[in-house]
Copies of this chain bind each other. A is one copy, B any other.
Amino acid sequence: MMKIVIDAMGGDFGPEPIIEGVIEALNEEDFIPVLVGSKDEILLYLPEYYIDKVEFYESSDVIEMSDIATNVLRRKDSSIYKSIEYVIDNKADAIVSAGHSGATMALSTLRLKRISNVLRPGLATLMPNIINDSKTLLLDVGAVTDCSAENLYQFAIMGYIYANKILGLENPKIGLLSNGEENSKGNQLTKEAFKLMSKLSYFKGNVEGNDIFTGDINVVICDGYSGNIVLKTAEGVVSTIFTLMKKQIKKSIPAKIGALLMKKKVFKSLKKEIDYAEYGGAPLLGINGYIIIAHGKSNSKAIKNAIFQAILFSKSQINIHIEEIMSKKVF
């Protein structure tokens, strides 16, 4: 049975939502969760019924969100260090961590190593779009702040493989995030990357920020700095719209009634479409291993979905495809 290592201590809210997510996942799928952390603390949240359905792997240290990622190699008792150690020693299938994402990425890269010929790993995330049951993959969203054109080119290849093998798209379309759709647009970095990507048959050219949400393009490539700006801007706009709407609703009785009538069918389903908890986490592409980085603020549903995503990610064995394609001379 598939073994998924879960950093039980990472995340902004401690072990509780993580253990709950594991339980929810166990109720729906067969797999063995390896819970890494303080067994005593984990047992506070784990009902007896589940105790023999999981494995424990002890760790005594937790890397806090405020810690600096560069020291993490020395903290060999941290839950994330131990999670990766477990994978190396025991050949577990995948890792899910909602802990310090910089530390998780650094440790994964240093200890599991990059896939041969991959220059830098890329962190990919799914974004909502207006098409039913469709999502747009965006990468990089934080693994490489300062990218080279070659990094972006490799992200395009890995993003294509992920969209094809895991999202199940037959012909995923790849776009390069730019400040205009014309071929001539872009900054120095994207102009160089555009040239490299033009060799890929599935590359559809430059796209703009709004194209992430139309569903016309399946994978959008950008550097980690820009990817973060997209994520945070989108988050800010969603929260602004809801805050402004709530302010107005409070001021008018008909609007209050209207909002009640819309609550179940409209607002809830909208929330579901744009809620990252529905999406799981972010796969780290280009590492010898299957690592899903969940949001620090993950609730149990987000953890459950991150576990399902880790199972799919690992089952796909896409790293074999990535290694094969990267072994060809690509530049």
Interface residues of A (CB under 8 A from B): 68, 128-130, 142, 145-146, 177-180, 184, 186-188, 190, 208-214, 222-226, 228-241, 243-245, 248-249, 251-252, 254-255, 257-262, 265-266, 269-270, 273-274
* 13 cross-chain CB contacts under 8 A: A179-B229, A180-B228, A190-B225, A208-B228, A209-B236, A210-B236, A213-B236, A234-B234, A245-B266, A245-B270, A258-B266, A259-B262, A262-B262
Please name the residue on chain B nearest to A262 by beta carbon: B258
Are A265 and B248 in contact, CB atoms less than 8 angstroms apart?
yes
Cross-chain contact of A258 among B68, B129, B258, B269 (Cβ < 8 A): B258
Contact A179 B241 (CB under 8 A): no
Inter-chain contacts of A234 with B (CB < 8 A): 209, 233-234, 236-237
Instruction: Name the residue in A146, A225, A270 with the highest tally of chain B Cβ atoms < 10 Å from its Cβ.
Output: A225
Q: Which of A145, A146, A186 has the most CB of B within 10 A?
A: A145
Among residues of B, the one whose C-beta sits closest to the C-beta of A208 is B232
* Inter-chain contacts of A241 with B (CB < 8 A): 238, 241, 270, 274
Q: Across the interface, do B233 and A209 meet the contact criterion of CB distance under 8 Å?
A: yes
Q: Which residues of B contact A251 (CB under 8 A)?
A: 265
A140→B285 CA distance, assembly (Å): 32
- Which residues in B have their C-beta under 8 angstroms from that of A179? 142, 145, 224-225, 228-229
**Pick the contact of A187 from B146, B232, B248 — CB < 8 Å?**
B146
A112 CB to closest chain B CB, in angstroms? 24
CB-based closest 4 A-B pairs: A258-B261, A209-B232, A210-B236, A209-B233
CB-defined contacts of A230 to chain B, threshold 8 Å: 209, 229, 233
CA distance A239 to B209 in the complex (A): 12
Identify the closest chain B residue to A256 (Cβ): B261
Q: Which residue of B lies closest to A184 (CB)?
A: B68
Decide yes or no: A145 and B186 within 8 Å by CB, A258-B259, A274-B241 being known contacts.
yes
Least CB distance, A41 to chain B, in whole angstroms: 28
